[in-house]
Amino acid sequence: MNAHLFGYVSYRDAAAALDWLSACGFTVVRRIDAAGGRVLHAEVRLGQAVVMVSSNDDDFDDTVLVERPSGHGLYLMVDDVDRLFARAVAAGATPVIEPEDTEWTTRRAEVRDPEGNVWSYGSYEPGQI
């Protein structure tokens, strides 16, 4: 079976999130706005990685996730973990794990974006046999 996995993240202020992602090096490849500036659907790309972005529904409540582990996030395999971490923090992300070498011989880092979503960066490629 052939399959591809793409992440998606919704934000209270998706337009600001797209600005943050652009500052981190992503390119907005598609954006559909509703009246009033709500982002109905957007897609950003960095290399082969694609993430879909949208505005939260009006009744979405994520306050239970603020300052608590969410049990989910996005992992982005990159060539230069330190550079992407620095760009993300400079653009307003909160450092969670500073860039470090792991015991399993890879490099990793983690941030929370301006709305608290977890983004992990690493040199490890999951799913390789």
Query: pLDDT class for 95, splitting at 50, 70, 90?
Result: very high
The answer to the question of residue 90 being in a domain is yes
User: Quick one: pLDDT at residue 3?
Assistant: 58
User: Which among 52, 69, 71 is positioned nearest to 11, based on CA atoms?
Assistant: 52
Predicted pLDDT at 2? 67
Residue 85 is given by DSSP the state H
109: containing domain? 7-56+70-122
The pLDDT > 90 percentage for the chain reads: 63
Return the pLDDT at 81: 95
Q: What is the CATH number of the domain that holds 22?
A: 3.10.180.10
**Cα–Cα nearest to 93, from 111, 75, 70, 117:** 111
Virtual torsion, Cα 122, 89, 13, 29, nearest 10 deg? -50
How far, in Å, CA of 12 to CA of 38, rounded? 9
Q: Give me the amino acid identity at 28.
A: V
**Tell me: the pLDDT tens digits for 97-124?**
999 998 888 899 999 999 989 999 999 8
Residue 128 lies in a domain: no
Among 32-36, 54-58, 89-93, 119-123, where is mean pLDDT lowest?
54-58
Q: Which helix (H) or strand (E) holds 17?
A: helix 14-23
Domain count, the chain: 1
pTM (2 d.p.): 0.80
